[in-house]
């Protein structure tokens, strides 16, 4: 193929890069997975229980991930809720791996919040439809700076979230039903995971409704903190 005959994209591909702590480089976001009902107390408050046979996953599009300090309050909802989560980022490709092999593919971690249109999610559940519109809207996955911890398997640490200074969620990562290595392993059995992929690992109990101008502060021990405000 000559230089003149090489194919070109019809428009520039969109690549979303996230800030890495203490680095001038950016982390390119690939696929974004989220696990549901990974803390027994949250599963109970939502009227369910942890899936013990296999974890339950859903996805968010890359444009859901953001590091903005001011996030526009989303349209088409009367019940926006917060879910603080540990987010793990992958540095290399893996397929059908065991939990013991998972850590070698970890790039690092961040504090994340899974913003959820609970009213739309409830309607989707009742009608047996996907959750996409309740979970995958723009800026629905704010994250902190990414802490580079290559090959490190995080198993414990306090996780919490405050709204306008009032603590709403508080737990420890040891309470996750499915651990980080198990989540990576399980996903890899169904789809090839790539460098740049991210996994939101579930939220503890205490989710609640958010309002315009609320300030959300989330923190995970030894990982960092995240702060943003919901604006008009």
62-88, pLDDT tens digit by residue? 999 999 999 999 999 999 999 999 999
Give backbone dihedrals phi and psi of 103, rounded to 5 degrees, phi first: -60, -30
Report residue 180 CA to chain centroid gap.
13
Contact 203, 84 (CB under 8 A): yes
Burial class (CB in 10 A: 0-12, 13-18, 19+), 32: buried
The CATH superfamily holding the domain 17-231 is: Fumarylacetoacetase-like, C-terminal domain (3.90.850.10)
Q: How, if at all, do strands 141-142 and 65-66 pair?
A: parallel
Residue with tokens 């990982």: 223
Residue spans of the chain under pLDDT 70:
1-5
**Nearest partner of 42 among 170, 205, 208, 171, judged by Cα:** 205
pLDDT given at position 51: 84
């Amino acid at each position: 193929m000559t230089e003149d005959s090489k194919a070109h994209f019809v428009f520039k591909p969109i690549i979303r890069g996230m800030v890495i702590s203490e680095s001038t480089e950016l982390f390119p976001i690939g696929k974004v997975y989220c696990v549901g009902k990974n803390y027994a107390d949250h599963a109970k408050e939502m009227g369910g229980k942890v899936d013990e046979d296999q974890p339950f996953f859903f996805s968010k599009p890359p444009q859901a991930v953001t590091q903005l300090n001011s996030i526009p309050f989303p349209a088409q909802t009367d019940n926006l809720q917060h879910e603080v989560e540990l987010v793990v980022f992958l540095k290399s490709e893996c397929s059908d791996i065991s939990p013991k092999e998972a850590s070698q593919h970890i790039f690092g971690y961040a504090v994340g919040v899974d913003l959820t249109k609970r009213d739309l999610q409830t309607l989707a559940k009742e009608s047996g439809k996907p959750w996409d519109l309740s979970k995958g809207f723009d800026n629905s996955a704010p994250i902190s700076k990414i802490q580079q911890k290559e090959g490190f398997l995080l198993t414990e640490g306090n996780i919490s979230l405050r709204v306008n200074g009032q603590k709403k969620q508080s737990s420890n990562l040891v309470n996750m039903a499915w651990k980080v290595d198990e989540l990576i392993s399980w996903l890899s059995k169904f789809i090839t995971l790539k460098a740049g992929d991210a996994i939101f690992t579930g939220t503890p109990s205490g989710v609640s409704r958010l309002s315009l101008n609320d300030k959300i502060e989330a923190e995970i021990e030894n990982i960092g903190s995240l702060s943003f405000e919901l604006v008009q």
